[in-house]
Structure 1
Amino acid sequence: MKRRLIAVASAGLRQPSSTLLLAERLAAATRRALERLGAEVDVESVELRDYGHHLVNNMIGYPSEELRPVLDTVARADGLIVVTPTFSASYTGLFKMFVDVLDEGVLEDKPVLMAATGGTARHSLVLDHAMRPLFSYLRAAVVTTGVFAAPEDWGSGHASAASLADRTERAAGELAREVDRRDTPVVEDPYMSPTPFENLLAGG
C-alpha cells in the first residue's frame, strides 16, 4: 500500500476563515478519495497568515528557518491543495509571496487542486483568469475542476451548498487520480551530492 502526502496551503487572513474551512473540506475529500484507491494518506496543512513575516523576509533576501519546513513539505508532497481569498479580482499578495518563494521547479508535474473564496460568485473567474495561468506557468499538473465558494455556498440545505459539496468531491477525486498514477516525488538533498571543490575552482 502506497503512502501519500497531501500538502494544503490556505491563505485566509481572518479567523474564523471560510478559506481555511474550504481547504479542510477539500483535504478531507481528497483523503477519502485516495483511501478508496488503496493509499495511506498523510495531510499536512499550513495557514500562510502564520508565516506572513517569514515570507516577507524571504522575499527581501533573509531566508527563515521557520519557513523551510513548509517549503520542504510542498517539495515532498504527492499533491498540493491551494486556497486563497479573492482580493481585487485576483489571489492575495500573501498567496503570491508563498508561490514566489517555493524552490524552483518544485511544482513541475505536481498535481495541484486550486480553490478560492470570495464575497460574490462573480469572483469565481479568479480560478481561470488568475490562478490557472500562474500554475500552468510553473508547469504544475492542475486538475480540471477548480472550486470557488461564495457566501451563499455555505448555507445548509440550499442548492448552492449541495453544488459546493459536489464540486469538492469531483475536484478531490481528480486530484486523487492524478496522485495515484504518479510516483512519490524524490527530493534530493543538496548536501548529499556537493559540487567537487576542483569544479568550484574551475567555475563549473
Structure 2
Amino acid sequence: MSTRTLAVVSAGLSVPSSTRLLADRLADAAVDALRARDVDVRTEVVELRDHARDLADHLVTGFPNASLRPVLDTVAGADGLVAVTPIFSASYSGLFKTFVDVLDRDALDGTPVLLGATAGTARHQLALDHALRPLFAYLHATVVPTGVFAAAEDWGGTSISRELGARITRAGGELADLVAARAPAAADDPFADVPSFAALLHGEA
C-alpha cells in the first residue's frame, strides 16, 4: 500500500491561532477518512508565519532560499492539501496570498484541496466562495465542495460547535475521496531522464 501525503498550510499569525486549530481539525478529519478507506497517510504541516521573511525574500529575489525551498516542494509534491487562512478585509491574508504567489504555476494542477478560513465574525464567511475558490480555480486545483469557515463564536476554548464539527467531518471525507481516487504523487527524480553511460558510448542519447 502506498502512503499518501497531505500538506497542511496554516496562515495564522498568533500562537496559538484559531487558524491553526481549524487546520489541525480538518487534517485530522481527512486522515481519519483516508484510513477508513484503507489508505495510509502522513501529514506535513506548514506554518506560514515561520516563513514570512523567506517569502518576502522570494518576492524580491525571484528565488526561494534554503529554508523555503523544502516548504514549496512539500506542497507541490503532496497528494492533497488543506489550506486555511484568516480573513482580513473580506479576503485571504497577505501572508497567505504571498505564499500562493511564489508557488510554481503548475504546483497544484489537479491537486485535491480543502479550503478553510477563520475570522472574528460570521460576516466574512462568503470570502471562501468569492475569494479563495477563484484563487485555487486559477491554479487548476480540484477544490472539494465543502469549504469550512469558523468564526469566533464557533470555538469554546479548543472545543467546537456541533455544526462546525459536522462540516469539518463532511469536508474531510470529500478530500479523502479525491485523494484516494487519485494516483499517488510521484517523487520528482532529477536524474530520471539522464541517459546511461553505456547509451552515451553507443551514441544512443
TM-score (norm 1): 0.90
Q: Which residue of 2 aligns with 1:45?
A: 45
Question: Structure 1 segments of 4 or more deviating over 6 A?
Answer: none
Map of 1:27-176 to 2, 5 A cutoff?
Answer: 27-61=27-61, 62-155=63-156, 161-176=161-176
Q: Give a deviation string over 1:151-180, Cα, whole Å, max 9, x none.
A: 111138x9x700000000000000000001
Gapped regions of structure 2 (runs ≥ 5) = 195-205
Answer yes or no: is the 8 Å Cα contact 1:8–1:44 preserved in 2.
yes
Deviation of 1:192 after TM superposition, in Å, equals: 4.4
Q: Which runs of 5+ in 1 are unaligned?
A: 195-204
- Summarize deviations over 1:112-139 as a string: whole Å, max 9, x none: 0000000100100110000000000111
* Residues matched between the structures, number: 193
SS in structure 2 of the partner of residue 185 of structure 1: coil
Counterpart residue type for residue 170 of structure 1: R
**Residue 187 (structure 1) shift:** 4.2
Instruction: Give the structure 2 partner of residue 200 of structure 1.
Output: none
CA RMSD, aligned part only?
1.8
| Contact 1:75–1:187 (8 Å) recurs in 2 | no
Higher strand share: 2
Q: What is the alpha-carbon distance in structure 2 between the residues aligned to residue 56 and residue 136 of structure 1? A: 24
Equivalent residue letter for 1:167 = R
| Letter matched to residue 101 of structure 1 | V
Q: Distance in 1 between matches of 2:169 and 2:7?
A: 17
Counterpart in 2 of 1:4? 4
Q: What letter corresponds to residue 36 of structure 2 in structure 1?
A: R
What residue number does 1:24 align with? Answer: 24
> 1:174-189 to 2 correspondence within 5 Å?
174-189=174-189
Offset of residue 106 of structure 1: 1.1
